[in-house]
Amino acid sequence: MSGAIVIGSERSEAGLPAAMEILARGGSALDAVEAGLRRCEDNLDDHYVGTGGLPNAQGVVELDASLMIGSSRAFGGVGAVKGFPNPISIARAVLERLPQHNLLVGPGAELFAEENGFERAELLTEESRKLFLAALQPSDESVEGERTAAQAGDELYRKTALDLVNRLAPHDGPWGTINILALDSSGELVVGVSTSGYPWKYPGRVGDSALPGAGNYADVRYGGAACTGRGELSMRALGARGIVADLARGLDPAEACLAMLADAATLPDEYRAELRCLALTPDGRHGAAAGQSGSVYVVMTESSTEPEFHPRSML
- Residue 177 known to be catalytic: yes
Under 8 Å between Cβ of 95 and 76: yes
Which residue type occupies 310? H
Under 8 Å between Cβ of 235 and 214: yes
The sign one gets for the Cα dihedral 234, 50, 56, 95 is positive
Under 8 Å between Cβ of 257 and 231: no
Which residue type occupies 225? A
Q: Name the catalytic one among 51, 125, 160, 177.
A: 177
The residues annotated as belonging to the active site are 177
